[in-house]
Structure 1
Amino acid sequence: MLNQKKLELKKLNEQLAYHDDLYHKHDKPKITDAQYDKLCKSKKELLEQFPELEKYDNYKNIIGASINTKFHKIEHTEPMFSLENAFSATDIEKFILRTKRFLHMSDNNPLTITCELKIDGLSFSMLYKNGILIQASTRGNGYFGEDITQNVKTIKNIPYIIKNAPTLLEVRGEIYMDRHDFAQLNKTYNFANPRNAAAGSVRQLNYEVTKSRNLKYFVYSIVNSNANTQEELLNQLSNWGFCVNKNTCTTNNIEEALNFYNKIYNTRNNICYDIDGVIYKINDISLQKSLGATSRCPRWAIAYKFPSVEAKTQLKNISIQVGRTGVITPIAELDPINIGGVIISRANLHNQDEIKRKDIRIGDYVIIRRAGDVIPQVVDVDKSLRNQKLQEFIFPSHCPSCGCKLHKDTQEIALRCTGELICKNQVLERIKHFVSRDALNIVGIGKKQIEFFYEKSLITNIDDIFSLEEKLKNIKLESFHGWGKQSIANLLEAIQHSKNVKLENFIFALGIRFIGKNTAKSLAQYYISYKDWYSAMLLLKDNDNTNNINGVGKKSIESLRIFFSEPYNINILNRLTEKLNIINTQKTEQYTKNNITGKIIVFTGTFSSMSRNEAKLQAERLGAKVKSTLSAKTNLLVAGSNPGSKYKKAQELQIQIIDENSWLTMIS
């Protein structure tokens, strides 16, 4: 029995060593965090069940991975340990009890802990001599790291010189890449996640590459600190000018500590960078020193990991989806898998190039990532499990809906169906868009109803919606499943109500390519009436008269020109205007002289004197441009209570931030 368990331990150690090397040295993990954690948990449980195996555990002293020979090797002044992992509230309770007993404390005695975010990035260390940054290194194997000094110096907000610092100061932290920058980078490269992108960007031989990647960092530790508590230590780091994560909690109540975890877990998608858990640390540094460390990790800290957002499953098929504008999107049909409590059976494969780049084949075992409300993505393929008989996926040359040839513009990645008006899928998607909340907002007519009416030839284009009541006189709709007298009456009432529509909603509802909500609003505010807008659009083929409209770009202009050059679209518009009352845009003359005219403003959080939408309307009436996301061009962030991640990002971008009272004063 013992020999069998020794072999099991050996196999687990070999797997851990292999995957540690891939993760820490090459930044190319082959398994998900959840699968790695499962290996660690299996080993932990095995050693707990058979403590006599401890003497055969020859991998317990390895913290990270071997050093990459491309970089100069640096020995750490103190080991850079990894942390023990917890996977449940019970694990945290056991950690607290174990710690108290090690310190000979009574179980009832309070023990103050700090709760910090576990940033999913690359651990690093910086050494200052006489207040000057002289060295930076990766964690490496925990005892020796890689010299990344020049690369780290390219990261914004890294202080080169510190005032009033001790003769020697070593600080440690995490380098990361936020999700926005990761998305931009991955338009060119193929990183599996922001952590890999950050690690790959730091470990470049050419520091100019690192400089171009817009990396960020947080520090959370001082080697041999003279601070009394972890809380004091973080304040000290902040005072020296380091970036310190302010999202922390200090408490001696375990319920509060667990509530902090739950709060962060539930709001983590509002944070602009990836976190994979919460770290609990004993707050008293003298107690940290008393607790010390095992050969692998400190006894005074533990990482409570979040449930995984990644998992591995089999790709059963690739189906093709046709969008409103004819864009062809491949969809992964998956063997259903539970990720973070949600059953995932489909994932987005984006486009033909993405399938080729990742070499995705039907039958492969793929890594699925789910983050918040984002559609699940296939981030990688486990080629070690591939059946060599699997064939490369052949992308169709014709539309699966209408059979028309697919076309790819030289300026675009996506393939498009050329069928347009005869393509059933495109027609259905256009109708769905037309009735959606930000368009005509017709309640009670969704996907199933639209498909039903289409199959019965009652609605085959968007203007048919307003002839539905007349057509229903010839069909007994309540005889079909799902329809009753009340639901029919409600639908017809909603259609009637939608006939009074604002110009900006009407323009958006048409589903013209590149004409989103903001562009539709810009057009409506410029032309005021449908008549003036329609007349100007008809002239586009001869004269481009929209160049001076703020928010309307060249692609939008070209798309409008194409739309209005098609006689079928003109006929649809003429029929719609006979049935609808298109409301003119109100002129906003009162904002000609005030201090927010022309400014780009973002609102976040909850407001007590008004809803956020009311605040936005106020700003627009005064001539401001209201956006939903922050950028370097944003002039002002108006923050209510519970502002979320936008507040932190605004601070990083040095954008002016005001509260609700200051906003009310500004617009009064």
Structure 2
Amino acid sequence: MESPQEKIARLRKELDEHNYNYYVLNAPTIDDRTFDEMMHELQRLEEAYPQYFDPNSPTQRVGNDINQSFTQVEHRYPMLSLSNTYSIEEVAAFYDRVRSGLMGEEFELVGELKFDGTSISLIYEHGRLVQAVTRGDGTRGDDVTENVKTIRSIPLQLRGNDYPDSFEIRGEILMPWAVFEALNKEREEQEEPLFANPRNAAAGTLKSQNSAVVAARGLDAYLYYLLGENLPADTHYENLQRARAWGFKISDAMRILHSVDEVREYIAYWDTERKHLPVATDGMVFKVNSLRQQKNLGYTAKSPRWAIAYKFQAEQALTRLNSVSFQVGRTGTVTPVANLDPVLLSGTIVKRATLHNEDFMNALDLHIGDMVYIEKGGEIIPKITSVDTSARLLVGEKVRFIRNCPECGTPLKRIEGEAAWFCPNEKGCPPQIKGRIEHYISRRAMNIDGIGSETVNLFYNAGLVKDVADLYTLQAPAIAALERLGERSAQNIVDAVRKSCEVPFERVLFALGIRYVGETVAKKLALALHSIDRLREASVEELTRIGDIGERIAQSVVAYFADADNLRLVERLRGYGVQMQVTEERLSERTDKLAGATIVISGTFTHHSRDEYKALIEQHGGVNTGSVSGKTTYILAGENMGPAKLEKARKLGVRILSEDEFLEMIR
């Protein structure tokens, strides 16, 4: 009979194997339910026998919700950038330079796809992942090991036994197209800013302070370069094939190329075929295959002489505009959306493209039936860039912005100086009512699990929830009676709503959905005024004296609390136990040591992350801004401070503080 230690070891080994089959080989051998059951059994055993804890266990891939800071780590080998080109002729010129640099010696190139993600360096000791570091400035990067451990295509323990005792492997952390589009859909529903491309989304996710968020985002990784003292082979290509056997995800697109003609064929093939890949690419890379020849060719100050990147042109597609629809968001903003004939663009089928606002739409002079060019410049969200007017023969009427809400018929309004039209019927327009509820329950607001947009729609249509306070009146039997919701789900929702009463005041303030009051503004208001009662009494003049609170925000806050319905809503929420003031514990941490100080943060740091320094500035009464001006009191300067900021600071006589000086100031 297996001992607990033996069973834990066996489950870890089997789960690692299934992870590899699923995430690297894309060939699972068991179903998801069996995998989950094995994972739960391992979790149970590890909790029962904590003496057998292993930081590289498969159970550690789920991450945790403990905030973490990132320490700066110096790269053993600098992570240099590559020279870029957009023409095959320049790649041919690179080929000639390599031949000349090798004095006519025969050589091979390796062609690889250039994945469009965020660069990562992985350090392995004795077959185990010990550190993961971002590129940073090329010399130093952030230690993101705990976050990287949640990426299931990155092995925590290598396969086989023929790997070097110590080595570094570099690659790209990526967000697959399917994950990216689902994430942006969720953000769009919450009226949050959309990620421009999978690269930005991957980079933002990897730097999350919460590894559980990273685990939930479904990141992937392709590895493309091996470094170390005792590598298995003298060629780049063979080293990566060996790395594939150790469990790393290596692209099948790698090819050995022997001539410029083969390079041209490789470019021509992948310029089309890349559109079918599950992840974003923005070009390809050509490297000299022999490590000895790489060493002989050496480096310039910025890049290796033995490699070059060929970048794809921004991809366009031509398709037909069939109609324009208008969407109403939770704040009433009306956004025009182009409905198109489906067309393949950068690996995804595009059917819709945003038209942003009336001014953007009018500038294109759109007519129904127009043939329009859509683009993902650098793989961004689809947008219409121009109209093929030469194809305008039997087109329909000119597209005009509507003047009444498409949902409730209320005449739209436009604030002077702003581009957006909005529906002012915030109390009676269904998308606005449901949108406010969805915003309230969202993760960064009240974080009420178990309720999504479909559930909100069910509650609203059933008459159970007409505003956010109604959430606190929900009863499990009434929820369970609804379609697709059973008793267990109903009880989970009721429990989650009750738990939201623990959410701190600044997030409650954000959750209320006051126009122009986002997360940052809500935090500033909460920490400056401490309670909903003080905020309700504040005048425009008082509010604008708070750092970064302008006239528009102040007027919106005053208008919100001048509305009797909003006051009744706030009181109902207070009655249900929702936090309406900053806790004494939180206030006790605050000081006025930086009161009146405006501080700019620049450079990279050792003791704390940039976000932590921003929080410390706010905690001690200071204001953090992004640019140096005559109002700047100090610059908190780390290593590699931006030269433009340094020059401007000297001209304006702004005092520059080191990390240690700043920490001493607030100690």
TM-score, reference length from structure 2: 0.51
1:616 is aligned, of 588, 592, 614, to: 614
Q: 1: distance between equivalents of 2:487 and 2:416? A: 52
Query: For the Cα contact (< 8 Å) 2:371–2:391, is it kept in 1?
Result: yes
Residues 282, 378 of structure 2: 8 Å contact kept: no
Are 2:106 and 1:107 aligned? yes
Deviation at 1:461, TM superposition (A): 0.9
Alignment partner of 1:358 is 2:364: yes
The residue aligned with 1:473 is 477
Change (3 A) 1:103 1:438: closer
The aligned residue for residue 575 of structure 1 is 572
Q: Which amino acid aligns with 1:313?
A: T
Let me know the Cα RMSD of the aligned residues.
5.0
Moved more, 416-425 or 550-559: 550-559
Match of 2:87?
Answer: 85
Match of 1:558 in 2: 555
SS in 2 for 1:584: coil
- The equivalent residue for 1:592 is 592
Q: Check conservation: 2:282, 2:312, Cα contact below 8 A.
A: yes
CA gap 1:473/1:487 in 2 versus in 1, 3 angstroms: closer
Give 1:591 shift: 4.0
Aligned-pair CA distance for 1:636 = 3.7
Do the aligned partners of residues 450 and 475 (structure 1) sit closer, same or farther apart at CA in structure 2, a change above 3 Å counting?
closer
Question: Partners of 2:287 and 2:636 in 1: how far apart?
Answer: 34
Paired residues of 1:518 and 1:551 also in contact (CA < 8 A): no
Structure with bigger gyration radius:
1
1:318 corresponds to which letter in structure 2?
A: V
Letter in 1 for 2:614: K
Counterpart code for 1:454: Y
Q: Which amino acid aligns with 2:598?
A: K
1:426 maps to which of 425, 428, 432:
432
CA distance in 1: counterparts of 2:235 and 2:647, whole angstroms:
32
2:528 alignment partner, one of 526, 529, 542: 526
Aligned twin of 2:76? none
Deviations 1:453-498 (A, max 9, x none): 11222211111111113xx433534x622x3444333322221111
- Contact map agreement 1:311 1:367 (CA 8 A) in 2: yes
Counterpart of 2:494 in structure 1 is 492
The answer as to whether partners of 1:310 and 1:368 remain within 8 angstroms in 2 is yes
Aligned partners of 1:490 and 1:614: how far apart in 2? 34
Identity %: 31
Q: Residue 335 of structure 1 corresponds to which residue in structure 2?
A: 341
Distance 1:649 1:254 in 2: 39
CA contact (8 A) 1:84 1:301 kept: no
3-state SS in 2 of match to 1:582: coil
The reply on whether 1:410 has 2:416 as its aligned counterpart is yes
Contact 1:85 1:303 in 2 (8 A): no
One-letter amino acid of the structure 2 residue matched with residue 330 of structure 1: P
Do the aligned partners of residues 639 and 562 (structure 1) sit closer, same or farther apart at CA in structure 2, a change above 3 Å counting?
same
The DSSP-based 3-state class of the residue aligned with 2:497 is helix
What pairs up with 1:105-504 in 2 under 5 angstroms? 105-108=104-107, 304-306=310-312, 308-370=314-376, 375-469=381-475, 472-477=476-481, 480-481=483-484, 483-504=485-506
Q: Secondary structure at the match of 2:477?
A: helix
- Give the aligned length: 409
Shift of the 615–499 alpha-carbon distance from structure 1 to 2, 3 Å rule, reads: same
Instruction: Kindly state the Cα deviation for residue 322 of structure 1 after the two structures are TM-superposed.
Output: 0.6
With normalisation by structure 1, the TM-score equals 0.51
Q: Deviations over 1:41-88 (max 9, x none)?
A: xxxxxxxxxxxxxxxxxxxxxxxxxxxxxxxxxxxxxxxxx977249x
Q: Contact 2:614/2:624 (CA < 8 Å) preserved in 1?
A: yes
Could you tell me which runs of 5 or more consecutive residues in structure 1 were left unpaired when the two chains were aligned: 1-81, 118-251, 263-274, 288-299
Rounded Cα–Cα distance in structure 2 between residues aligned with 1:102 and 1:618: 53
Q: Distance in 1 between matches of 2:535 and 2:483?
A: 42
CA contact 1:101–1:107 (8 Å) conserved in 2: no
How far the C-alpha of 1:507 sits from its partner, in A, is 2.0
**1:371, CA displacement in angstroms?**
5.5
Instruction: Rate the CA distance shift 1:648–1:369 in 2: closer, same or farther, 3 A.
Output: farther
Within the candidate set 504, 507, 510, 2:509 is matched to 507
Check the 8 A contact 2:86/2:311 in 1, yes or no: no
Give the C-alpha shift of residue 372 in structure 1: 6.9
**CA 1:302–1:552: 2 relative to 1, 3 Å:** closer
- The aligned residue for residue 171 of structure 2 is none
Task: Give SS of 1:600's match.
Answer: strand
> Is the alpha carbon distance of 1:277 and 1:513 closer, same or farther for their aligned partners in structure 2, counting shifts above 3 Å?
same
- Cα separation, 2, equivalents of 1:565 and 1:525: 22
